[in-house]
Structure 1
């Protein structure tokens, strides 16, 4: 490495300097990552422009990442085929009697949707169209409606099957089955604290409450929703019990959602299928483009030994498991504000993995700290993609909803602290069902 033109420090300044300059100029994240690589590839005599193409292709040449477009297609088929409507009916039967009924339904539907789609942006887009205008018509404040829709959507990256878990497992060689199991408890805890937050808002502001459902309505809602609720059971159960891989489970989810939409609920027509395929291609293209350029960016960091240089100073602090957990969370919380979660995993996750290992953190525990922390970045500026989607649907500026978003994030931060301080929050179910997945 002595023949290299750039030292690790100089290389990191060039890479990150150009990247953040591109972000400041409002260049899309995936493009900014690729542009940041170019100077190094042109100036360094041992490298060439072909490296960018090679490393990008190597990232795409992954069987695991095929699951991403299939899970997105599953979510789109749900919305078009009437599956989401049945889940809304069930959510209303379950929590419609609580203060702030429609907002409570919003949160519960996010739990159901998270167990099928794995994408927070798909959740924010679909539920924003369903709930934001409806809540405003019922007297909810616009900022609250936007905030609860955006914040509840982040559960899709924590509750399995999560696209972030699939990317994390593929990039950092962690059991995806273990990650699926580990996300159940933190995801449900976040749902509980969000429902509690809605309760406080509703009682203080006098948001409307629906009449409780009758037993006939309740069991009727369960009956029509059972086929839809079987989707996460098939996806997660099949992966956990080794019936199929994460990618195969995503394919089966598409077939199942398509069958429900076409043959059971009979609400999807050919134009609807076309829209679902078109939206899936658009969302998957953006997500996977990020994977490719982030992988090239990460390859250059490894080439110049930037992670070793960064960790050299941090390792000297000699932090224990808890302190390391908080440090990892802090890094991901900051990075998530500026960077999409997928490139953050590829770039930052690979840097922090040796630190987590040296501190004795279980790889699954380390992954869940990172994923839960990155979930915050989906609703915090300047990136905050889910918040931007929700604000766009409502037609308001991001700053108008920011106060309510920050209030709603505080109970979620308590859940993150619990995940760090008590590893069994994430490891209990994996150790109970499939202990062979751990370590």
Structure 2
């Protein structure tokens, strides 16, 4: 029955079923057909999964992301990024990478982050002479680069699923996230050698100071969250509330770009996105619970231990599987389904739980922007109005550099664990 459930899930995705519907069908087949439990168990497991105080931080960060977008904070950070790196080779392409760093993952959806950056930069890049295929490739890659930069909703989900400190995960994600973006910027520089050379944005200290001052209120938000968590001022959920309140105050009273009359529509849109994310979380939790109840993690672990006792080989196998899943599944669903299997397996091989969380999220982030079904790639090609096939060639060097960064993060745990050990006395 396990094989039948897995096959049904893949068939549902192949014929275009929404991920939630595919998960429900596969879970219902497994739970009802394989265990004989009543249908009410499905609803019960969804409720149990979502009835969590720490999980409340996810919709709050989604609201914070909407406030940043509607309140002009995202636009100001893009302008600041342009003043910093716009003068480099392929300057506007570098702006996409820098914008991903500054905007991080507030929205709770990499699709939304990619759309926010792409809707501004892709038309401007094509206007300045960039090929639309190259512009789409850069924006798609940028969407998957900054998944680890705190406050990351994906790290929050991993911490919730494994009972790992979310504050420690946020701090651990800083260096790997910046490393991914650095290698992404190097990839853009490398890939741009074969592209037309549009004029870069002239560098000006006056412009840098002006845009930095204008964006300073927006840049304080992630720092405020980290300080609150690091010094025990607030829990992760309380920090998310602080982010929402801070974003509203700045957007309405400092920048003035968000009007009070616009708040109902903003909250409705945020509620819709929250509903989508939480529906995926709840339905993926059913499938994950079914796999766990059928001892799938134990069976996978036993099979792998017969195959290899090497942690190096295990990490390589995990990387391959996660990259493939990231390209096929919605990232939240992929995280929830794989974590219960990988967590006990990897920790039994001596992989640190915090390091494992960074690895899973980094791999899934790269999977978002590579063919055949990477969602960031779909979004960027849609904005650029080009086919996915035409984007693959300019995307390949960017993916190569991102995977190189992924290998460093995977096999040099100190990159992930050095900050938690320095700041939190984390023993690992």
TM range (shorter): over 0.9
Q: Deviations over 1:301-326 (max 9, x none)?
A: 12211221222111123433322222
**How far is the alpha carbon of 1:385 from its aligned partner?**
1.3
Matching of residue 263 in structure 1 with residue 253 in structure 2? yes
Q: Give the 5 Å matches for 1:149-228.
A: 149-228=139-218
Q: Distance in 2 between matches of 1:156 and 1:75?
A: 14
Q: Give the 5 Å matches for 1:188-337.
A: 188-270=178-260, 272-337=262-327
**How far is the alpha carbon of 1:115 from its aligned partner?**
6.2
Q: Distance in 2 between matches of 1:271 and 1:155?
A: 35
**How far is the alpha carbon of 1:151 from its aligned partner?**
0.8
Q: Deviations over 1:378-405 (max 9, x none)?
A: 1123431111111222222322212222
What's the TM-score, normalizing by structure 1? 0.93
**In the alignment, which residue of structure 1 is the partner of 2:330?**
340
2:365 corresponds to which of 375, 387, 390 = 375
Structure 1 residues 116 and 38 mapped into 2: Cα distance closer, same or farther (>3 Å)? Answer: closer
Q: Is the partner of 1:140 in helix, strand or coil?
A: coil
Q: Give the 5 Å matches for 1:49-64.
A: 49-64=39-54
Q: Which moved more, 1:67-76 or 1:253-262?
A: 67-76
Q: Is the 8 A contact 2:62 2:106 kept in 1?
A: no
**In the alignment, which residue of structure 2 is the partner of 1:4?**
none
Q: Distance in 1 between matches of 2:195 and 2:32?
A: 59
Structure 1 residues 188 and 47 mapped into 2: Cα distance closer, same or farther (>3 Å)? Answer: same
Structure 1 residues 232 and 211 mapped into 2: Cα distance closer, same or farther (>3 Å)? Answer: same
Structure 1 residues 155 and 240 mapped into 2: Cα distance closer, same or farther (>3 Å)? Answer: farther
1:26 corresponds to which of 16, 19, 31 = 16
Matching of residue 355 in structure 1 with residue 345 in structure 2? yes
What's the TM-score, normalizing by structure 2? 0.95
**In the alignment, which residue of structure 1 is the partner of 2:392?**
402
Q: Which moved more, 1:317-326 or 1:127-136?
A: 317-326
**How far is the alpha carbon of 1:408 from its aligned partner?**
0.9
Q: Is the partner of 1:316 in helix, strand or coil?
A: helix
Q: Which moved more, 1:114-123 or 1:78-87?
A: 114-123
Q: Which moved more, 1:119-128 or 1:28-37?
A: 119-128
Q: Is the 8 A contact 2:91 2:201 kept in 1?
A: no
Q: Is the 8 A contact 1:114 1:155 kept in 2?
A: no
**How far is the alpha carbon of 1:289 from its aligned partner?**
0.8
Structure 1 residues 114 and 211 mapped into 2: Cα distance closer, same or farther (>3 Å)? Answer: closer
**In the alignment, which residue of structure 2 is the partner of 1:365?**
355
Q: Distance in 2 between matches of 1:115 and 1:62?
A: 21
1:121 corresponds to which of 92, 111, 114 = 111
**How far is the alpha carbon of 1:427 from its aligned partner?**
0.7
